[in-house]
Chain A
Amino acid sequence: MSTALKKSPFTVKKAVVTATAWLLAALFLAPYLEMVVTAARPAGELRDNGYLPQHFAWNNFVDVWSRTTIGTNLGVSVLVAAGATLLTLLVALPAAYYTARIRFRGRTAFLLLVLVTQMFQPTALQVGLAREFTSLNMMDSDLTLIVANAAFSLAFAVWILSAYISSIPAELEEAAMIDGTGRVGALFKVTLPLALPGVVTCVIFTFITAWNEFVMGLILVNSPAKQPLTVGIDSMIGAYHPQWNYMFAASLVSIVPVVVLFAAIERHVVAGLTAGSVK
């Protein structure tokens, strides 16, 4: 492939490749552009099937905050996603560090347990999750969503952090430890700063996963005021006259921040998702 990639003159093949790639990019973007168009439709033009509205009601993006509950839903999403990210990091970091540095009895069993959790999705466990948190009297609680989201992000976090920490020479920490710093001190002063790209990837990915999570929000929350944004948007369909323009204005509020965050870590995500299997 290296020879084919050398700066080549214009060829038919290259033109076809370029055109196909751009066409595909347009196809992938189209559903989201349609959301922008719909969000800007005046209420009176929602039932028109014209490609574009006669007038663009950009003020929908302002009105959506007062006419719907998305402000509240957004608050829940921010709190849950931030809380889940923090909890995941607090729990995953020591585990990742220890498994990367020390060969202890039960290490393989622990890593297997973590890997298997990645395979068990909230959807498959929905009935059990609802029963558990009902019996704990923890329905409609931000804390429940934080803990539940953190648990299902743990696998990704442990794998990616462990991979990063393994790549940092243990000698650096040991030097610090000889200087009188404990293992925990060495972790914070030496390893963590060097593993920062891995930590950032883990933080952003966990945040996005919790932000986009839908099923647990649906089954563990009954009160509308406690619904995260995804569930809030979905519940707008149930209205007698669904306000699709506000629904997609809210959808864009949900999409834009995470796309920007995701673009920042894209290169590292595949490694984390397939870690433990492709090496």
Chain B
Amino acid sequence: MPEQTTTTPAAHPAPPPSGARPARASGRRPSAAGARNSLARLGPWPWIGPSVVLILMVVVWPVVEMVITSTHKISGLGIDFGSDGIGRYRKLFDDARLGPVMAWTVVWTVLVVTFTMVVSLALAQLYNQKFPGRRFTRWALIIPWASSVIVTSIGFRWMLDEVAGVLNRAMLDLGLIHSAENWTGDAAHAKPWLILVAVFVSLPFTTYTLLAGLQTVPGEVYEAARVDGAGKWQTYWRVTLPLLRPSFLVALVINLINVFNSFPVIWGMTQGGPNTDTSTSTVFMYILGQTDVGEAAAMSVVNFAVVIVMVLLFLKVSRWNEES
């Protein structure tokens, strides 16, 4: 790499171009070549403009569209009957299905995220050990991560099939059940399985994030704890967990957002049914959209308010990490 030997850019006291501030916190000035560059005079827009346009088109526009649509009366076929004020919100809040859907959304999010975090802590601890086949066993963990969630969910639906499902067969053979069950046929049977599958697909990312956190903990810290006579559990609670807090919080909030927004697990296994008995807010939104787009939009806006709260939570967590 010959470039490495010619490091004399700071010797040029060229004035900074009007648009761009001096590069980096170290106070380095842009070189003469940079100042002559016509791109520099345009400021950041040629560089960040395309990103901003893409975000405006695909993220901001739909949000605006959603809010406008929620004040319109629109049929399932998309025929717009004009403004409806808060009519669609009133219809949504009068909808007998909304209460159970929101309650299940909360239970779903809390249970899936809790189980995911607890199991991932244990898995990360396990995979942080050295043992024969560690590479292979960690590799097995990435398959549910790399695979499409909808495909994995359909796989579980099939394994739970009343007639041919291998899980029904296995549970019969193990004596756990007396006769094959239609696990995805009603909410009471389906919900525990939906939670299990959602945890299954959330574990890899969470475990890997915590594992990355564990690997940044310096060995000397454990050494010191041992010298001080701390037991294994004490070390884990007092040393490992506090040091793992940044990774833990980030994984927690990302999971909260992902699980709250999750669609494919429920869609792939029950399509939110029977009726809307296993629908969370995002699946309910889709089902509403088949008959009343305005009400679906109202549901999206309510849902979006929850997402905003979570995003603020995420930003708070991020800032906390930067400070420490």
Contact = CB atoms under 8 A, between A and B. Distances in A.
B80 to A, nearest CB: 10
Contact of B146 (A25, A107, A208): A208
A90 B66 contact: no
A60 to B, nearest CB: 15
A1 B47 contact: no
A175 B314 CA distance: 40
Interface in A143-194: 147-148, 150-152, 154, 158, 169-172, 174-178, 180-184, 190
A48 B146 CA distance: 30
Interface string A1-39: 111110000000010011011101110110110110010
Question: Which bucket holds chain B's interface residue count?
Answer: 35 or more
Interface in A251-279: 251, 254-255, 258-259, 261-263, 266, 269-271, 273-274, 276-279
A118 B51 CA distance: 13
Nearest to A219: B286
Nearest to B58: A151
B311 interface: yes
Contact of A51 (B24, B169, B223, B307): B169
A126 B300 contact: yes
Given A34-B166, A248-B158, A102 B44 contact: yes
A175 B155 CA distance: 55
A259 B46 CA distance: 36
Question: Chain B interface mostly helix, strand, loop or mixed?
Answer: helix
A258 B147 contact: yes
A48 B144 CA distance: 26
**Which among B58, B169, B262 has the greatest number of chain A C-beta atoms within 10 A?**
B58
B150 A17 contact: no
**Which among A21, A176, A262, A266 has the greatest number of chain B C-beta atoms within 10 A?**
A21
A203 B259 CA distance: 25
A175 B167 CA distance: 64
Contacts, number: 351
A104 interface: yes
A92 B267 CA distance: 32
A2 B223 contact: yes
Nearest to A99: B48
Given A132-B61, A182-B39, A271-B212, 9 more contacts: A28-B144, A34-B159, A38-B158, A128-B297, A135-B65, A172-B4, A174-B34, A175-B8, A230-B148
Interface of B: 1, 3-4, 6-9, 12, 19-25, 28, 30-34, 37, 39-40, 43-44, 46-48, 50-52, 54-55, 57-59, 61-66, 69, 78, 123, 126-134, 136-137, 139-152, 154-159, 163-166, 168-169, 180, 200, 205, 208-209, 212-213, 217, 219-220, 222-223, 226, 246-247, 250-251, 254, 257-258, 261-264, 267-268, 282, 285-286, 289, 293, 296-297, 299-300, 303-304, 307, 310-311, 314-315, 317-318, 321-322
